[in-house]
Amino acid sequence: MQRRIGWRHLLSIITLALLAVSAVGCGEEEEASPDAGDATIPMPSGAPLTLSPENAGVGVTFGDMGLLTGHSSFELVDAAFTTAVLPIPILDEKKALEFTPENIRSQPAPVQSKKRTEELLDEIDDAIEADADAEDFGAYVLVIDVFRVNGSWPVRWDGVGVRETDGPGAYDFSRDDMRDEEKDIILKAVAEAHERKPLKRVVVGAAIERLQLVNPEDFGNFVSFYEEVYDAIKAQWPELEVSPGLNWDRFITDVAALYTPGGTVEEVTFAQIRAAWREIAEPLFAKADFLGLQAEPNPDYYGGTPENLPVSQYALLAEVQGSRPVVWYAVNWPVTSAAEKVTQRDYLRKFLEYNAGNDVELIAWKGIRDLGPDACPRIVELGGPTSDCFAGIFTESLAGNRLSDEIEAAVEE
């Protein structure tokens, strides 16, 4: 059964189209139109952000804690990063490769969020128990990702045909069965984490702006789905803070480009970014206790180096966040080899500098360690980016690199 067509988005596009036609007819009145958005470039103000054990977090995935056990690196991790971010897929495609489609559908637990959360928390507990000096993280953030590993489309929640490429309409958020099943999957994962750990925040839909880019109508469906999940979480656990997740860097480039005449990133000005925020992000964050954001720029847009990031990259947040704090649940400059770690370090410095003036409560690096030869091929096999294999603070051997040295020094200060 189809429902919840994204009328809000459709109305926004129609409105923008009418404004564009009107602007063409009026000529010089185009820039004066308040509906076109303010093109003024915001700038960061105040001192750069700093890292401390109170605001520094790190993404923890399968296999991390097993490697940390018995290494001095563990002491740095649980001392410097008091918040653990658990990125959990709505359905783990990597795990699903071990099963036949029929088994996944009849026995979905091995690949669903609750089971994956349970196994990851078991791994964390085992690592803490094995190290007499280790301490548990003081807070946890659960991030539920509804997208496929390759980023092309929401994952098929039934697990069937995981190797297939799905098209629009087949498994979108207008379907009652998908909405009901996915909400149930999410609530069970939240319950598992909340029962066992000091769970503080939940992010529903990591980097969900991807859906706006592949299917704008379904993005509107997701907004109403998220609102249902938000209400359901708050009804059971009113103390938990809930937000959708957005990759800010992709939002101000690829999504904002939808509002330019030619649809290209090169055309984007802050008029388009503000229009995109007003029409797309504001409805998304209408029900949100914080702004759950990911920081992961596309290096191609900046000549491959964070040195070319504009000073205004994150300054607009001070203008739009209102009373809600920013939670950076995944910070990363994508690299494809260990030799590029210095680039990640340089990006972290820019990130802290350019977030000056923003009310930020958490800065979590995307991962603890780079993926090894066993885990990385599984991501590549599913079409995931090679950069996901090198998003950690540590190498697979847990040897420090320039990025981990930078973080350790910042936290010690």
Given a contact cutoff of 8 angstroms between Cβ atoms, the answer to whether 116 and 95 are in contact is yes
Nearest CA among 62, 125, 80 for reference residue 367: 62
Q: What is the mean pLDDT of the chain?
A: 86
Q: What is the pLDDT of residue 190?
A: 98
Least confident of 106-115, 370-379, 399-408: 399-408
**pLDDT at position 311 over 50:** yes
For residue 233, give the H/E element and its range: helix 216-236
pLDDT for residue 8 is more than 70? no
Helices then strands, counting H and E runs in the chain, come out as: 16, 10
Predicted local confidence at residue 173, as pLDDT: 92
Q: What is the pLDDT of residue 319?
A: 93
Rounded-to-integer distance, Cα 74 and Cα 127, Å: 9
Please report which confidence band the pLDDT of residue 16 belongs to, taking 50, 70 and 90 as the band edges: very low
What pLDDT score does 95 carry?
Answer: 87
With 80 as the cut, is the pLDDT of residue 293 above it?
yes
Handedness of CA 242, 182, 214, 210 (dihedral sign): positive
Residue 15 CB: number of other CB atoms within 10 A? 12
User: pLDDT band at residue 372, thresholds of 50, 70 and 90?
Assistant: confident
Please tell me the pTM assigned to this model: 0.89
CA 187 to chain centre: 19
Q: pLDDT higher for 54 or 36? A: 54
Q: Where is pLDDT greater, at 3 or 297?
A: 297
| Residue 248 pLDDT > 70 | yes
In sequence order, which residues have a C-beta less than 8 Å from that of residue 167 and are 6 or more positions away?
Answer: none
> What percent of the chain stands above pLDDT 90?
59
The predicted pLDDT at position 106 comes to 79
Provide the CB-side half-sphere exposure for 355 (13 A, CA): 25
The lowest-confidence range among 27-31, 280-284, 351-355 is 27-31
Query: With bands split at pLDDT 50, 70 and 90, how would you rate the model's confidence at 32?
Result: very low
Contacts 24+ apart (CB under 8 A), 263-271: 265/301, 269/39, 270/37, 270/38, 270/39, 270/40, 270/41, 270/42, 270/312, 270/316, 271/36, 271/37, 271/38, 271/39
Domains of the chain: 37-412 (3.20.20.80)
Confidence of residue 31 (pLDDT cuts 50, 70, 90): very low
Q: Give the strand pairing for 360-365 and 291-295.
A: unpaired
pLDDT tens-digit readout, 66-117? 888 877 777 778 888 899 999 999 989 888 888 887 787 778 888 999 999 9
- pLDDT at site 410: 63
Please report the beta strands in 43-181, taking only residues with DSSP state E, as ranges in sequence order: 56-59, 83-89, 139-145
Measured distance CA(205)–CA(209) in Å, rounded:
9
CA distances for 334 relative to 230, 266, 364, angstroms: 31, 20, 15
For residue 182, give the 3-state DSSP assignment: helix
Q: How many residues does the chain have?
A: 413
pLDDT higher than threshold 90 for residue 337: no
Query: How far apart are the C-alpha atoms of 409 and 134, rounded to whole Å?
Result: 20
Structure tokens at 329: 């649940």
